[in-house]
Chain A
């Protein structure tokens, strides 16, 4: 268990470093008006606060993540052999993503699954931005308060129905016997039903539908604080409507756009329900690969390694995009 026990030491070291820094700083520049944490909150309350937050940040967030990463560097072993001599540190789980260990060939299947998940998620993000921007702009700049409240309610209510049932409702609509195919055939537009689920239309619609709100609210919040006079000024100076958006609204709302896009992208890559229920039979979403390692082949370390690969690739992509559009991470995840 030694390599795993190592995980528990990391937070202790990090906290100790900050502690020493804080103490040294306090010694170097003493500030008599400054009160200590327990002085400000009382010993009992302060201890409760610290205990709660320590439990959360350490045992529910940091340690499980670190532990998962460590686990991914271990071989998959039956419970009896864990901690035994076979339980060595290895990168086999990661190399299996590139080269399939059972057939010794390049692992196109899993790599293309990751690539497809990412490209499809980017497409969904762009689609949601295009759908939400006009309404967000209208609500933020043109609507009266009552109208906005009504629209907000209309936006939120459908999302009280859970993800699975929403996917189910789209499936009813898009299935070969579904209402859309009935309508298309009834109007003699097609003779045979179109396989919306097989050709992944269902997948894109399902993902877009699932994360519409996640795009809407950051956009709305960002555009709402824009001073209307800026738009008026641009209009008075003779700017056409598309230049107002390109040169005034969008640059101003950039942090909101970035945070909406980041969240939709991350949620979409990590989504499980929409690909499961609305994807075509030949479509392989990367989370489905991870799911199968856990529930079909019971290879937890490999599933953990794949999950970690997915996380790293997504974060790298988001960071690159944020840098490209010159938005700081702090602004985007506010």
Chain B
């Protein structure tokens, strides 16, 4: 028995260590956001201050970057979610000999280093736009190129999310609808799309987040514009200020709220599902009794 207790203690210690590694650096950074010295330091803690948050708010280029990041995130989601959905449906219907190549092409952005995606996007679109004389117009802009570059791999994420849910789709539902006289487009709008709704939600969230925090592709594709992440990278390269820690504190705060909200929604959904299941069982039992 004691060996089991030692084992359990070791596992506990290991988990503690693991999460210490995960959260430790963030916790230290969090403390520096509220400490007064100019150099972000956690110890000694000189005096509590909120100045760094004010500095952050007044940081012009960071706020501009934030605005661009949000625009890009929305643009990427608007392209990637429909593309991922269409790609997952084509994946299930494509000519079987072409499926291997199709899979390779659609999944390749996930295996290609982000740096390469950024470079190829810029090189390709610069020439395409100069041939079609769009270079001087609205389109040859960092924001547009970044949307295109990021959409190439975010679409692949979305494809995987949709595929995971599609494989569990019960074909009988589709056949039932067809037997009842529905057309194929009707099946798509009224059966398949509602079934895929949770996947759409996760695709939107994951797509936006991965666009928002992307660095490798963005640094190349953004040209003269800036996003929050590229501004941050510039700041970190120049030196260190507790204002960055303050930003991290805000992001961690928002994500914690999001995580808690997600957890609550999940629990609520679970109880609802449990209740529906119980009701179904009761109904079934009544039916069996009625027949008997």
Contact = CB atoms under 8 A, between A and B. Distances in A.
B152 A164 contact: no
Given A65-B120, A67-B123, A168-B244, A272 B107 contact: no
B32 interface: yes
Question: Which interface class (under 10, 10 to 19, 20 to 34, 35 or more) fits B?
Answer: 35 or more
A169 B29 contact: yes
A179 B43 contact: yes
A330 to B, nearest CB: 8
Nearest to B23: A158
B131 A135 contact: no
Contact of B120 (A64, A175, A269, A315): A64
B139 to A, nearest CB: 13
B87 interface: yes
Contacts of B15: 135, 138, 151
Secondary structure type dominating chain A contacts: helix
B248 A273 contact: no
Contacts of A153: 259, 263
A110 interface: no
A253 interface: no
Secondary structure type dominating chain B contacts: helix
A65 B152 CA distance: 11
Contacts of B263: 149, 153
A45 B188 contact: yes
Contacts of A45: 184-185, 188
Interface in A29-47: 37, 39-42, 44-45
B251 A162 contact: yes
Contacts of B102: 57
Interface residues of A, number: 90
Contacts of B155: 56, 60
Given A64-B121, A333-B107, A270 B237 contact: no
A66 to B, nearest CB: 9
Interface stretch (A92-100, A223-231, A299-307): A299-307
Given A138-B11, A165-B29, A276-B233, A157 B256 contact: yes
A262 B108 CA distance: 13
B215 A163 contact: yes
A18 B123 contact: no
B138 to A, nearest CB: 18
Given A52-B83, A179-B42, A311-B113, A158 B185 contact: no
Contacts of A269: 113
Contacts of A177: 39, 41
Interface in B213-242: 213, 215-216, 219-220, 229, 232-233, 236-237, 240
A172 B123 contact: no
Given A22-B95, A168-B248, A290-B115, A161 B105 contact: no
Nearest to A277: B236
B255 interface: yes
Residue with the greatest number of chain A CB neighbours at <10 A, chosen from B113, B121, B152, B215: B113
B109 interface: yes
Given A300-B123, A303-B119, A163 B213 contact: yes
A308 B258 CA distance: 39
A45 B219 CA distance: 36
Interface in A271-319: 271-273, 276-277, 287, 290-291, 294, 300, 303-304, 307-308, 310-311, 314-315
B112 interface: yes
A149 B260 CA distance: 12
A261 B54 CA distance: 42
B115 A270 contact: yes
Contacts of A170: 25
A126 interface: no
6 contacts: A22-B97, A60-B155, A169-B29, A266-B113, A270-B113, A304-B119
